[in-house]
Chain A
Amino acid sequence: MFTALFGSVELGLIYGIMALGVYLSFRVLNFPDLTVDGSFVTGGAVAAIMIVSGYSPILATLAAVGAGFIAGSITGTLHAKGKINPLLSGILMMIALYSINLRIMGNSPNIPLMREDTIMTMFQSFWATLPFDGWMTSLFTTLNLPFTPSTWGILLFAIMIVIVVKLFTDFFLSTEVGLAIRATGDNPRMISSLSANTDRLKILGLGISNAFVALSGAIVTQYSSFVDVNMGIGMIIIGLASVIIGEAIFGKGSIFKITIAVIVGAVIYRMVVALALRVGFLETGDMKLITAIIVIGALVVPRLLENGKERRRKYRKARKIKEQYGGEKSVAATKSDL
């Protein structure tokens, strides 16, 4: 079980990059962008096909980022220039990407990367030259812990890359263009009266959002040594779940805090799924159902808690007032006086 949880932390951090992309479109731009289901696979497909064709994994990953950016900016263009409703623009792009992804993958529904060099194996072989894993193993055995992860390299790699993306997001959203993008989601009328081209900002924002998603897809592909044309189904919901779980736990503060919350949300989501799958009667096929239930829970539970708190507050107040003023009797008394 600990091994499963350890794995879910690794994977959760990588999916955290995707969640940051969803945060950009869904929260910052206020644009529910369904392109994500397609662009996640696009990232994986581009990376996989380039690695199989012998390109450097780093170049392949960068190309995946570029492909995601293009996909997102097309969605943005459909909406901004074609005046198509945001949800519909995303769905159209998602559908179109399914075929495009298949084409990228040479018309095969999946590509294995078993004996290929990936960005993971590259980091891993560098990591193996450091004595860190050996230290941790001896530490874990002396502490008598029930499990020892085979390597810490992947976890460290995931942490590093997600932090880079987080810091980039934080910085970008504080630049002059970044501020204008935030205002485009917050008050488009105001920012266009301040000489900002909201069409261009939306296209740019969705491009960056999907570049993150594709980066995440490319790294997940290299992590699992496998890309499947269907691996993006429901991705937008996973991203949303991460954003919502993060916000539910950490609240809405500065951008710096929210981006941490989103990443932690992604990790928590993965851990909940890993734990749920260990429950006897649930099967792998139930994943999407579990996801839906987690999102519904994250949306509804904070509301219920808030309602309960408010009810108790009113109840306490009513009792206090009753003690002070002697209840509703006085009203009845005045009425009978009339």
Chain B
Amino acid sequence: MLQLSQIFKVFNEGTTDEKAALENVYLDLKDGDFVTVIGSNGAGKSTLMNLIAGNLTPDVGKILIDTKDVTRLKEHERSKLIGRVFQDPMAGTAPSMTIEENMAMAYSRTRKRSFFAKGVTKSRKTFFKEQLESLGLGLEDRLNAKVGFLSGGERQALSLLMATFTDPSILLLDEHTAALDPSRAELITDKTKEIVSKNELTTLMVTHNMQQALDLGNRLIMMDKGQIIFEAEGEEKQRLTVERLLEEFQKIQGNQLANDRAILSH
């Protein structure tokens, strides 16, 4: 469960480059919610992600995960609760370490890391193998391969698995299929659907791909200029199409334009 209330974030405040990245954002994810977030560049999607993950802290506002106030916690403290997949397939894994070592590090996410216990043990190896088998990419036979030798798609699939197999309270997906070729992107999208529904993960996914935003999840959010301007849930979301979304977007922007005109004409 994730709750954001009254979030404000401004970059370069007081300079000519001042930019209000988020303005009075409220967001409430119930357990098992899968929310897709769309919006044009600069709408505040990435800022939203980074605020939840703890790379940024809000100027004003509160962030609760599992009813725990995490607003002032650092990234590494919060990430006990958060699984995250980045846009860059290279970002989520350590290239000069093996697949099993990478999985061992992800396995330790929710616990205190020990000085004395080996990261990769026999029983964990068996567990990692089972997990990798569920991806169906044959990675289970390459536990000792360095991750740097995997392709981008394989690395992203591994990142997705590493973010989810420890059952995070929140799963953050940051345009995680955007850097892949269409067939690989489809594979990762399918795996995402499968893993999220199997583990009933509370998920927030940012995407540039409207169709993907419609296909996945039970809720959809559209952002623009640091605000949430449109929301659809359940059946309403299922009835949405890309055309309707674009219409909606233009309607809201048109309204704003009309408002601006109205103000200016007076």
Contact = CB atoms under 8 A, between A and B. Distances in A.
A85 interface: no
B116 A175 contact: yes
A192 B75 contact: yes
B206 to A, nearest CB: 15
Interface in B165-223: none
Interface in A133-182: 172, 174-180, 182
A198 interface: yes
A197 B108 CA distance: 13
Contacts, number: 87
A331 interface: no
Interface of A: 172, 174-180, 182-183, 186-187, 189-198
A195 B117 contact: no
A180 B91 CA distance: 15
A190 B94 contact: yes
A195 B80 contact: yes
Contacts of A195: 76-77, 79-80, 108-110
28 contacts: A174-B120, A175-B115, A175-B119, A176-B105, A176-B114, A176-B117, A176-B119, A177-B114, A177-B115, A179-B101, A179-B104, A180-B108, A180-B113, A182-B94, A187-B90, A187-B93, A192-B75, A193-B53, A193-B82, A193-B92, A194-B79, A194-B109, A194-B162, A195-B77, A195-B79, A196-B76, A197-B76, A198-B76
Interface residues of B, number: 34
Interface in B52-77: 53, 74-77
Nearest to A186: B94
Given A192-B79, A194-B108, 7 more contacts: A174-B119, A175-B113, A175-B114, A179-B101, A186-B94, A194-B79, A195-B79
B32 interface: no
Pairs of residues from A and B, 9 with the lowest C-beta to C-beta distance, nearest first: A176-B113, A186-B94, A195-B79, A179-B119, A187-B94, A183-B94, A194-B109, A195-B80, A197-B76
Interface in B75-127: 75-77, 79-80, 82, 84, 86, 90-97, 101, 104-106, 108-110, 113-120
A44 to B, nearest CB: 28
Contacts of B90: 187
A259 to B, nearest CB: 15
Contacts of A192: 75-76, 79
Contacts of A179: 97, 101, 104-105, 108, 119
Contact of B117 (A175, A180, A194, A196): A175
A182 B75 contact: no
B105 A183 contact: yes
Interface string B33-49: 00000000000000000
Contact of A187 (B74, B91, B117): B91
Interface of B: 53, 74-77, 79-80, 82, 84, 86, 90-97, 101, 104-106, 108-110, 113-120, 162
B173 to A, nearest CB: 13
A191 B94 contact: yes
A176 B53 contact: no
B105 A191 contact: yes
Contacts of B97: 179, 182-183, 186
Nearest to B107: A176
A174 B80 CA distance: 21
Contacts of A186: 94-97
Contacts of B74: 197
A251 B54 CA distance: 39
B118 A194 contact: no
A182 B119 CA distance: 12
Contacts of A182: 94, 96-97, 101
A29 to B, nearest CB: 12
A154 B192 CA distance: 60
B230 to A, nearest CB: 29
A179 B97 CA distance: 9
Given A186-B96, A193-B53, A177 B91 contact: no
A22 to B, nearest CB: 18
B91 A189 contact: yes
Contacts of B162: 194
A176 B77 CA distance: 17
Nearest to A179: B119
B253 to A, nearest CB: 34
Contacts of A176: 104-105, 108, 113-115, 117-119
B85 to A, nearest CB: 9
Contacts of B104: 176, 179
A196 B113 CA distance: 8
A195 to B, nearest CB: 4
A196 to B, nearest CB: 6
